[in-house]
Amino acid sequence: MMDMTKKVPVREQDPKVRAANFDEVCLGYSQEEAMQEASRCLKCRNARCMGGCPVSINIPGFIKEIENGDFEAAAGVIAQASALPAVCGRVCPQETQCEGVCVRGIKGEAVSIGKLERFVADWSREHGIVPKAPEKTNGRKVAVIGSGPSGLTCAGDLAKLGYEVTIFEALHQPGGVLIYGIPEFRLPKDTVVKTEIENVKKLGVKIETDVIVGKSVTIDQLLEEEGFDAVFIGSGAGLPMFMGIPGENANGVFSANEYLTRSNLMKAYRDDYDTPIAAGKKVAVVGGGNVAMDAARTALRLGADVHIVYRRSEAELPARAEEVHHAKEEGIIFDLLTNPVEILTNEKGWVRGMRCIRMELGEPDASGRRRPVPIEGSEFEMELDTVIMSLGTSPNPLISGTTPGLETNRKKCIVAEGDTGKTTKDGVFAGGDAVTGAATVILAMEAGRAGARGIHQYLSEKE
């Protein structure tokens, strides 16, 4: 008999095999497994899981449809709140959101909500279920800057309301971090990401790539010369931060963003592409978030021994629990409570190692987490040939610098209202990482949705 306190286990590639390939790690549920897992949901009347979901998906509603075997109906329920379910089912931090508050989790393991969402999205794709464009447009034009989760969601919601939406994307491929940041082994590009982008296009959204707003065209030109009635900025936070320690300019030091972009967008990991990438033998990744785990697991797959160097303890690691678990299974070594103080170089200016210091946790800081404090006299050296810095990112100031009247805060984030995305410039709305700084896919989607609401209200009142 099924043990209702435990999740139906999900099939995964064997850690030893997957450490040497870029294929997806998690293989997802079969129909039978999904229906079994769905039967664990208590269909709570006061469904706490929904409160934990930033876009309030009707979780018991779609899980009930899975249990009944009506997967198309389940997809319909999810589509009311989310345009990117195959992505969210794979990368949302469910353990701190929906699954973190699931009632099943009180006396056992939470329902596998993320894996069920992913199952429904994959089933829909495999069965050719596509969204329908509205029959006619309302003649109003909206420009969306950036094709990450915030821009795609805003564009999709506005298209459903009848707006003519054009997304302007700086890179040669749409998708934002979903394409250039998160690796193939976690989020397959051709099957998953491109299909969800195609679904947004099927709603009538146009995507123009290779357009850098602030260089190719300005926001004022879009509004005054190109006939757009409103603009949504979803340009993300792509500017990497560094530590400012000696030796950080050495050859062999990378930002995680550059490293991952070479691998994911420019396909450097594939033998049939010419893009160069540092396939070091001894690599340290500095940081403890999802980005650090992705960089570390990419370096491992390129043949390196990899260390994660993080200044706090395991409990404070900001990455999704599943990524930390997978990284450990694959053989990544975690040097916790450790902080770099200097990158060591050889006579030719290449990285040869890193001097670090051991840390201990002191009193809580402004973030509520215990502050890491250096332990005097505990310095030691690591022998390395590559260092990847993964310390967070901030928004690129290009758009704010070319848009008079658009206010930013001291972290260079665009100032915008949370529930409408309204900025300090008339007709301009913003959301996602460009407003919050680096955050999550689902929060960016929620901000895109808020921006669409704000633009609809603004243009309806202008009529």
Where along the sequence are the contacts to ligand SF4 (CB under 6 A)? Answer: 41-44, 47-49, 59-60, 102-104, 111, 113
What is the footprint of ligand FAD within residues 282-341 (CB under 6 A)?
290-291, 294, 320
Is 269 one of the binding residues for ligand FAD (CB under 6 A)?
A: no
Is 400 one of the binding residues for ligand FAD (CB under 6 A)?
A: no
Is 145 one of the binding residues for ligand FAD (CB under 6 A)?
A: yes
Q: How many Å apart are CA 218 and CA 255, to the nearest integer? A: 28
Picking from 284, 280, 299, the residue whose alpha carbon sits closest to that of residue 245 is 284
Q: Least distance in Å: CB of 264 to ligand FAD?
A: 8
Q: Which residues contact 201 (CB under 8 A, 6 or more apart)?
A: 207
Q: Which residues contact 187 (CB under 8 A, 6 or more apart)?
A: 87, 90, 91, 178, 193
Is 157 one of the binding residues for ligand FAD (CB under 6 A)?
A: no
Which option in ligand SF4, ligand FAD, none does residue 102 bind, with CB closer than 5 to 8 A by kind?
A: ligand SF4
Q: How many Å apart are CA 457 and CA 158, to the nearest integer? A: 11
Q: Least distance in Å: CB of 98 to ligand SF4?
A: 7
The sign one gets for the Cα dihedral 150, 151, 156, 157 is positive
Q: Determine which residue in the list 28, 176, 288, 372 makes contact with ligand FAD, applying CB under 6 A.
A: 176
- The radius of gyration computed from the CA coordinates of the chain, to the nearest angstrom, equals 23
Picking from 44, 53, 32, the residue whose alpha carbon sits closest to that of residue 123 is 32
Which option in ligand FAD, ligand SF4, none does residue 169 bind, with CB closer than 5 to 8 A by kind?
A: ligand FAD
Q: Least distance in Å: CB of 262 to ligand FAD?
A: 12
Q: Which residues contact 17 (CB under 8 A, 6 or more apart)?
A: none
Is 446 one of the binding residues for ligand FAD (CB under 6 A)?
A: no
Burial pattern 36-75, b for ≥16 Cβ within 10 A else e, equals bbbebbeeeeebebbebbbbebbbbbbbbbbbeeebeebb
CA end-to-end span of the chain, whole Å?
62
What is the footprint of ligand FAD within residues 82-111 (CB under 6 A)?
91-93
The sign one gets for the Cα dihedral 399, 424, 257, 181 is negative
Q: Least distance in Å: CB of 281 to ligand FAD?
A: 23
Picking from 293, 341, 298, the residue whose alpha carbon sits closest to that of residue 314 is 293
Is 343 one of the binding residues for ligand FAD (CB under 6 A)?
A: no
Beta bridge partners of 361: 372
Which option in ligand FAD, ligand SF4, none does residue 47 bind, with CB closer than 5 to 8 A by kind?
A: ligand SF4
Residue 41 or 91 having the CB closest to ligand FAD: 91
Q: Least distance in Å: CB of 55 to ligand FAD?
A: 12
**For ligand FAD, which stretch binds (CB under 6 A), given 48-56, 67-75, 233-241, 412-420?**
233-241
**For ligand FAD, which stretch binds (CB under 6 A), given 29-37, 49-57, 375-383, 427-435?**
427-435
Place of tokens 């994307």: 169
- The pair of structure tokens assigned to 48 is 């706490």
Q: How many residues bind ligand FAD (CB under 6 A)?
A: 43
Q: Least distance in Å: CB of 219 to ligand FAD?
A: 10
Q: Interface with ligand FAD by CB under 6 A: which residues?
A: 91-93, 145-151, 168-171, 176-177, 181-182, 211-214, 234-236, 238, 260, 290-291, 294, 320, 396, 398-399, 432-434, 438-442, 444
